[in-house]
A and B are shown apart, each in its own frame.
Chain A
């Protein structure tokens, strides 16, 4: 990796310098990355280690509902589930956050209260990101004012793919400023790349550095609205980026794969990759999240299987 000063003002001074920096990042060996991710996915995690992994994965879930048909009632139900995922088992931990559209933030916040479960809101014309900057910023401010603890923004993939990196950079910086709260704090900013639209791993690595330099607290793979969504190799490339960024600057950035992670086996594979690529420091809900809706029930079923010794079924858990 190139040696970096913590201050990136030299890099982000102009379109040309930013492009030079991003294109100067080492390329990703596609075959090697996929082979390594597949190899890490073969690790066998059993018994007590599996029980710990399942509980950790539950604590890392951003329980998500992003449908046009969402209602206040559904968000309230989801928020209740976030606090007590398995009502039959008080030892089951609560999830990290619920993730909703900005107009549902107040409802979610009301139900969650001081439970410690965060409210994340998708903003900036999610999921396409096709709106004027003013609209995106207003969207963000709305969500923050309604009480969102975390903002999930989408980057302008059109600008990124046409090489207008500085525009993307400045947008992220502007959204980050819009995350400021009146009390002096700030909502955490997650930057969604929509890796399914970025075409190459090189682009994923460039987008990761761009978002980290712009001050994103988290980098997130996908909106969940585009296929392919999160994959193991893409997440691995992003984990390498956050690891290198910490080495270069001392700053930690979190990672959130979202979309397409449905089974507890998949979730455990991601945890293995986190541990092997970024390190154990990232194995906490503050630095790694799963964006998911159906995954939680799968984790709960596996958890029940481990505690009771018999296979459970979907009838015994709430829908969504």
Chain B
């Protein structure tokens, strides 16, 4: 029997609920941890980033207008679909991060658990960080967290699945829409996650996943006047390492133009297996306080 011919894959981007090729037409080869060719990934350009922002802005109104309870259900559904596709993700994490099958399995389990954890927070964050404030006057004074808007996320370079889920879930659970630039060298878990998002109940445009180089797309997102916040975590781990600090500074300066919320790049990529704090969510919400007269 003749040997089977390889199915060579060229993956695409995930923008506005669809899977377009990069506007530039470029793709780049993705290698596994041992340096063997695995597949081609689309190389997102600045125009893909622009299209993704338009899609995210369009989706923001509907997503932020849903009840927190419903967003919890949707996020839980993502966890379900991810769990169903566990073998596929174990392989992707193994290839990308060079882990053993059992360690990769643990990473996928942690990613599913992380989604469930954040899904649970959807209708609880308001009680914890908002509240009724005592004021010196006949007023009800109520504070509630509201989503910031369109959030650009430069995803971690090393932790390609757990890291990605850990920075993406807290952004969308509060009602933001996201434009995510995946790990440059390890994009395949992100590509697979896009397929999960497309087949769960996440409305198109709420999450947009771009595979490509954060160093080239990042500046356009940081300067984009219609992006409300940016997570610079993915700047750490880009090659060459010493360029990371300069890039982080440049992006912060660019982001200041329209007063974006900025989550600064950490000194080193954090350990994503640890239970996250609430600041992952509160970094991308705005506290709205209303004064309502009593007895009227």
A46 contacts the other chain (Cβ, under 8 Å)?
Answer: no
A37 to chain B, nearest CB (A): 22
A316 to chain B, nearest CB (A): 6
Main secondary structure of the interface of A (DSSP, over half): loop
Q: Mark B108-138, 1 if CB is under 8 A from A, else 0.
A: 0000000000000000000000000000000
A313 contacts the other chain (Cβ, under 8 Å)?
Answer: yes
**Complex Cα–Cα for A313 and B226 (A):** 5
Number of residue pairs spanning A and B whose beta carbons lie under 8 angstroms apart: 25
- Tell me the B198-233 residues at the A interface (CB within 8 Å): 220, 223-226
A309 near B223 (CB under 8 angstroms)?
yes
**Complex Cα–Cα for A74 and B254 (A):** 36
B224 near A310 (CB under 8 angstroms)?
yes
B57 near A311 (CB under 8 angstroms)?
no
**Complex Cα–Cα for A315 and B226 (A):** 7
**Complex Cα–Cα for A13 and B241 (A):** 83
How many residues of chain B have a CB within 8 Å of chain A? 10
B223 near A312 (CB under 8 angstroms)?
no
A42 to chain B, nearest CB (A): 14
Chain B residues closer than 8 Å to A313, beta-carbon distance: 57, 224-226
Chain A residues closer than 8 Å to B257, beta-carbon distance: 310
- Tell me the B244-277 residues at the A interface (CB within 8 Å): 254, 257
Of the four ranges (under 10, 10 to 19, 20 to 34, 35 or more), the interface on chain A belongs to under 10
Chain B residues closer than 8 Å to A310, beta-carbon distance: 220, 223-225, 254, 257
**Complex Cα–Cα for A57 and B62 (A):** 33
A314 contacts the other chain (Cβ, under 8 Å)?
Answer: yes
**Complex Cα–Cα for A190 and B53 (A):** 39
B210 to chain A, nearest CB (A): 15
A238 to chain B, nearest CB (A): 31
Q: Determine which of B50, B220, B224, B226 lies in contact with A314 in the assembled complex, contact meaning CB atoms within 8 Å.
A: B226
B120 to chain A, nearest CB (A): 33
A310 to chain B, nearest CB (A): 4
**Complex Cα–Cα for A315 and B259 (A):** 14
- Tell me the A280-319 residues at the B interface (CB within 8 Å): 309-316
B113 to chain A, nearest CB (A): 36
- Nearest A residue to B150 via CB reads A313
A291 to chain B, nearest CB (A): 24
**Complex Cα–Cα for A313 and B50 (A):** 10
Chain B residues closer than 8 Å to A311, beta-carbon distance: 50, 53, 220, 223-226
**Complex Cα–Cα for A313 and B58 (A):** 12
Chain A residues closer than 8 Å to B50, beta-carbon distance: 311
A295 to chain B, nearest CB (A): 16
A312 near B226 (CB under 8 angstroms)?
yes
- Tell me the B49-67 residues at the A interface (CB within 8 Å): 50, 53, 57
**Complex Cα–Cα for A316 and B224 (A):** 12
Chain A residues closer than 8 Å to B220, beta-carbon distance: 310-311
- Nearest A residue to B224 via CB reads A311
B205 to chain A, nearest CB (A): 15
**Complex Cα–Cα for A309 and B226 (A):** 14
A315 touching B223 in the complex, CB below 8 Å, given contacts A310-B254, A310-B257 = no
**Complex Cα–Cα for A83 and B176 (A):** 37
- Nearest B residue to A309 via CB reads B223
- Nearest B residue to A304 via CB reads B225
Chain B residues closer than 8 Å to A314, beta-carbon distance: 57, 226
A318 to chain B, nearest CB (A): 15
**Complex Cα–Cα for A314 and B225 (A):** 9
B149 to chain A, nearest CB (A): 10
Chain A residues closer than 8 Å to B226, beta-carbon distance: 311-315
Chain B residues closer than 8 Å to A309, beta-carbon distance: 223
B229 to chain A, nearest CB (A): 13
A304 to chain B, nearest CB (A): 8
A313 to chain B, nearest CB (A): 3
**Complex Cα–Cα for A262 and B6 (A):** 44
- Nearest A residue to B226 via CB reads A313
- Tell me the B157-171 residues at the A interface (CB within 8 Å): none
Q: Mark B93-121, 1 if CB is under 8 A from A, else 0.
A: 00000000000000000000000000000
**Complex Cα–Cα for A74 and B157 (A):** 50
In the complex, besides A310-B257, A311-B226, 16 extra interface pairs with C-beta distance below 8 angstroms are A309-B223, A310-B223, A310-B225, A310-B254, A311-B50, A311-B53, A311-B220, A311-B223, A311-B224, A312-B226, A313-B224, A313-B225, A313-B226, A314-B57, A314-B226, A315-B225
Identify the A interface with B (CB < 8 A): 309-316
* 25 pairs of residues in contact across A and B, judged by CB atoms under 8 Å: A309-B223, A310-B220, A310-B223, A310-B224, A310-B225, A310-B254, A310-B257, A311-B50, A311-B53, A311-B220, A311-B223, A311-B224, A311-B225, A311-B226, A312-B225, A312-B226, A313-B57, A313-B224, A313-B225, A313-B226, A314-B57, A314-B226, A315-B225, A315-B226, A316-B225
Identify the B interface with A (CB < 8 A): 50, 53, 57, 220, 223-226, 254, 257
The list of the 9 closest CB pairs from A to B, nearest first, reads A313-B226, A310-B223, A311-B224, A313-B225, A312-B225, A311-B50, A316-B225, A311-B225, A310-B225
